[in-house]
Structure 1
Amino acid sequence: MTPANCPRCGGRLARDNHSGRCAHCQAAERDRLTAPPAVPPPFWDHQPVRAALARRHLGHLIRAYRHHPYHGRLPLTQSVVAGWLGITQAQLSRIENGPAPIHLDRLTHWATLLRIPEKLLWFRLLRKGADPAPVGWASSAPHSPDEKPGTLDASPYGEVVTTNRRQFTTLAALVGLGSSDQLDLLTRSVDATPAIGMDHVRLARSVVDDFRRADAVIGANGLREVAIHVHARLSELAAKARYSRDVGEALQSALADLAIETAWLAIDSEHRATARPYLNEAITRARIADDPHVEVRALTQLSLLLRPVQPIESLHCAEAALRNSAGWATPRLRTLLHLRRAHTLAELGDASAHERAMAKARHELERGPHEDDEGFVHFVNEQEVQGIRGLSYLDLDKPDRAAEAFRSVAEHPSPQHRRNQVYYAVHLTEATRRQGDINEAARMALDVLPAVRRLNSQRVTKHLGQIRSDLGRLRQPTAPVREFTQAYDERIAP
């Protein structure tokens, strides 16, 4: 049916009007192929626009802008809006559907072109001659008189990090990087050519330990940007410093460890594209330092990262880690590597090879802990074996067996590994939904919702969001489904 009124001016539309705009408004916007229209203030109160603003994702905001009813019955095409922004239609599609843009000059240019009210933005518009403020850290409040604006450092991997000492010091204290030596190392200027000794290497290693401890408490969402900053500063220091050969090898190992930890935080906060360059760097540094232990850690993490998108390469990484660690790997490390293989083989649909790999993992686990176990395998226990078994059965489309494995995790919890416990609880919900018990799945999802919210892991939140999306597509949602979807939308959805 033709709407009764023009969405732009509110005037009555003729019965034979198929454009969704009155003649006056069509004439007023004939130039919209070359420039965005001037929109009224209520335009920005449209629910999809407000949701995109809350997500702090300019690509999502542009998509909501294009589909706004103000523009008529049909949305603006990507080609038209791309022309305004000075990019191609394919580029705009990637911006709308990919990770949030982070380059402040582009954000400023596009926000200005679309005339987005500055008070609604999550970043400060970059003024000519002004220092840029870091995207995601900025607020609408002005700097205090005694605080200099932050500056942007471009990490080699496309991230934006801040060198504002006050901002970083506050966040570092939350993480646990509170010692004066650490803060001096991470915030001082490195314009000169400093001399580095083993004390600096020990500080670098202690920073990695601080991140690992903080990750269990704060979660990856709150740590990723700090880790990126620390990595950039220490890498810059190492590139400019003078040191002995022994110090150099130890420093390369420490920086490789930091790169692995930064990659993990990127994975868990669902910035997966950011993670791979850090792992590639870690492998390179480990080889320079002739440190096979660090190289195996990097390959193990790379196998995890690649499994959903490049399962063959993921399998090769796990097998390379097994070869490189032959002769010194502890049973728990071998358990982890066989679990990586098993999950990837399930992703590839090879059920028999998956079962063989799982049997090897269980055999190694039964050999027990070892005094040489490294910290990064601390989570490898019965809970992890059952959890990977459940994930693999989901990949093999065997939800009944997956649910059985996830229930075993729930029945034998590992309190010191809360994130994994919640992660597998969410997947138990998914297995239950795929078994066909929609109401029970909704009740389970509602029960786990508070724990997911507290966890601060975007990786876990994303999985619960997929369940909400699947349940939300039901044509006739039941009362438990409505209760869960409403609670999710109120507590988690932006």
Structure 2
Amino acid sequence: MSDDVTAVAPDLPADFWEQAEIRSPLLSQHFGRFLRAYRSAQSPKVKQADLAAWLGITQGQLSKLERSPAAIHDLVKLQKWAEALHVPSDLLWFGKPHEEAGQPEATSAKATDQELTHVPRRNLLKGAGVLAVSAASSGLLANAPWQRLMDSVENDRPVDMATVQLMQDRTADFHDNEHTVPARQLLEGLLRHRTVISALLTNARTENIRNELVRTFGETEALVGWLHFDLGNANEAVQSWRKTLKIAKDSGDGPLAACALSYWSYLASSRNDTVPAVRLLQQAESYVPGNTAPATRSWVAAREAEELSRLGNETEAMRALERAFTAFDFAHPRTERHWTTFFTANRLGSLTVSTYMGLQHKDAPAIADSLLASLPPTVRKQRALALTDLTTLCVRANDYDRARALVDGAIDSTIRTESSLSRQRLLTLSSELASAKKGSPGNTIRDRIRSGLHR
């Protein structure tokens, strides 16, 4: 066994057991294939010697189990190995052998309606997923959406629209979670999701289904790039956005191209390449002309206003902001595209505050105060940005008492959400205070930022 691996298998989080590559062999009742998937799905990959030790068998025996086309039917061994790996019981097609469990051999397989009403719906769905394969020969639940997904990935079953919808729903969930879940926590699952979509594309037999999957893949790839950007992985982010742009151009999906270019503009901005950032946003705006995709158009225009304000171009910045407000009147961010769900009135307000700050407009503090008061605690990344912007405005107005009261909340929100945008703005504020004298309020705030962001 490796020196750095414990003598027992780890307790893995619930989302590990939700992965298609883990559930599929269990649904197929093939424990050997499950063991291979179990090793590969972890990061770093589990070594055969370590897994064999956890199971109490030799590495050679494990290798044979993983490669064997035949399933294992020894219930005593199956139960022992499942317990060793902490496999959730609702994913297993077997229970304890009757002599070990102390139960009569014949038990009622039919639950009453009263019993079922007390079972959480989530558990019912999981149970149905297990039943789908074991009852496939009789047709019971064989066509459940999650079962069709497994069959498409594992058994080359042609993809149907129910499976496409399932993947689109999961993509939407990832985009929704990006607003509140740290990037590091979200990225691993998103990469696995992308792999599943790629596998499904190989079994897309009709043009309509393939087009829908390609669109979903592009929306996923765009978010992969954004999460890499949030984590400081610039090269990986650019690679993902290049792929997204190619998908968008090949499929004629203008709003998707606008999304990738707008994400890319944040990277340029983080490097103080303001002019290239503006060009990226102007190119993005050209992909959503007129009344098309109003939520995306509003976001792009507001971002353009933000960058133009950094150049001191007040006339063009205010025009861009006017376009953003006009488009937002027709926008339905929650239903337009997956990435637009974040672009609420509050997010438009945040970009407005940033634009007014860049222009050193006298109304910037009032707008920032109003925005912060309106934000619910659940929109954590937006709160991080709002707190950071308001702290900066207070410092620039020499209101150091309020700045000190705000800065710790800004730092804490930034750390918790791993928001690269608010982190960048805090570092900019720290640089502005570089010349502050020791012991001064500005020096205190600068030291709090530096120590807080590196804790």
Range of TM-score over shorter length: 0.5 to 0.7
Match 2:239 to one of 256, 260, 277: 277
Partner of 1:251: 213
Residue of structure 2 equivalent to 1:493: 454
Aligned mates of 1:349, 1:486 — CA distance in 2: 29
Moved more, 415-424 or 449-458: 449-458
Give how far 1:134 is off.
4.1
Q: Distance in 1 between matches of 2:55 and 2:312?
A: 60
Instruction: Specify which of 210, 232, 235 is matched with residue 198 of structure 2.
Output: 235
- 1:469: how far off? 6.7
Looking at structure 1, the residues matched to 441 and 326 of structure 2 have their Cα atoms a distance apart, in angstroms, of 45
1:268 aligns with 2:230: yes
The question of whether the paired residues in 1 share the 8 Å contact of 2:231 and 2:420 is answered with yes
Please list, as runs of the form range in 1=range in 2, the aligned pairs for 1:303-318 lying within 5 A after superposition: 303-309=265-271, 310-318=273-281
**What CA distance in whole angstroms lies between the structure 1 residues aligned with 2:261 and 2:161?**
27
* TM-score, normalised via structure 2 length: 0.59
Matching of residue 451 in structure 1 with residue 418 in structure 2: no
Q: Structure 1's 318 and 447: CA in aligned 2 closer, same or farther, altered over 3 A?
A: closer
Superposition deviation, residue 211 in structure 1: 0.9
* 2:343 alignment counterpart: 380
Structure-2 separation of matches of 1:146 and 1:485: 52
Q: 2:178 aligns with which of 195, 215, 221?
A: 215
TM-score (norm 1): 0.55
User: 1:424 aligned to 365, 370, 386, which one?
Assistant: 386
Higher helix share: 2
1:332-371 matched pairs, under 5 angstroms: 332-366=295-329
Say yes or no: does 1:410 pair with 2:372. yes
Distance in structure 1 (CA, Å) of the matches to 2:264 and 2:208: 28
In the alignment, the residues of structure 2 paired with residue 214 and residue 317 of structure 1 have an alpha-carbon distance, to the nearest angstrom, of 26
Q: How far, CA to CA, are the matches of 1:188 and 1:278 in structure 2?
A: 28
5+ unaligned residues in a row in structure 2: which ranges?
1-39, 63-84, 89-121, 130-143
Alignment partners' CA distance in 1, 2:432 and 2:150: 46
Cα distance in 1 for residues equivalent to 2:212 and 2:446: 51
Residue in 2 that maps onto 1:476: 438
**CA deviations over 1:399-440 (Å, ceiling 9, x no partner):** 755434322322333555332122121121122223344443
Please tell me whether residue 201 in structure 1 is matched to residue 164 in structure 2.
Answer: yes
Aligned equivalent of 2:288: 325
Are the equivalent residues in 2 in contact too, given 1:339–1:361 (CA < 8 A)?
A: yes
Shift of 1:191: 9.3
Identical amino acids, percent of aligned pairs? 16
Output the CA distance in 1 between the equivalents of 2:394 and 2:299. 26
Quickly say closer, same or farther: Cα 1:203–1:332, change in 2 above 3 A. closer
Contact kept, 8 Å, 1:446 with 1:484, in 2: the verdict is no
Give the Cα–Cα distance (whole angstroms) in 1 for the partners of residues 378 and 292 of structure 2. 24
Q: Which has the higher contact order (CA 8 A, sep 6+)?
A: 2
Q: Do the aligned residues in 2 keep the contact of 1:269 with 1:458 (CA within 8 Å)?
A: yes
Deviation larger for 180-189 or 369-378: 180-189
Q: What letter corresponds to residue 371 of structure 2 in structure 1? A: V
Contact 2:391-2:407 within 8 A present in 1 as well: yes
Paired positions, count: 336
In structure 2, C-alpha distance between the alignment counterparts of 1:132 and 1:364, rounded to whole Å: 44
Q: In terms of mean alpha carbon deviation, does 215-224 or 328-337 score higher?
A: 328-337
Q: Does 1:294 align with 2:203?
A: no
Contact 1:222 1:456 in 2 (8 A): no
CA contact (8 A) 1:406 1:427 kept: yes
Cα–Cα, structure 1 residues 134 and 324, in superposed 2: closer, same or farther, change >3 Å?
A: same
Per-residue deviation at 1:222? 1.2
Question: How much does 1:472 deviate?
Answer: 7.5
Residue 290 of structure 1 and its aligned partner are, at CA, apart by 3.4
| Counterpart residue type for residue 221 of structure 2 | A
Structure 1 partner of 2:80: none
Separation of aligned partners in 2, 1:329 and 1:406: 30
Residue 189 of structure 1 deviates from its aligned partner by 11
Cα distance in 1 for partners of 2:330, 2:209 equals 37
Aligned pairs (5 A) from 1:38-57: none
Query: Which stretch of the first structure deviates more once superposed, 330-339 or 373-382?
Result: 373-382
Letter in 2 for 1:292: G
Give 3-state SS (helix, strand or coil) of 1:223's partner. Answer: helix
Q: 1:455 to 1:328 in 2, by over 3 A?
A: same
CA distance 1:294–1:367, shift in 2 (3 Å): closer
1:213 Cα deviation from its structure 2 partner: 3.1
1:310-338 Cα deviation digits (max 9, x unpaired): 44443344334433333542544332222
Unaligned runs of 5+ in 1: 1-130, 150-165, 170-175
The structure-2 alpha-carbon separation of the partners of 1:408 and 1:270, relative to structure 1 and needing over 3 Å to count, comes to: farther
User: Compared with structure 1, are the counterparts of its residues 199 and 347 closer, same or farther at alpha carbon in structure 2 (3 Å cutoff)?
Assistant: same
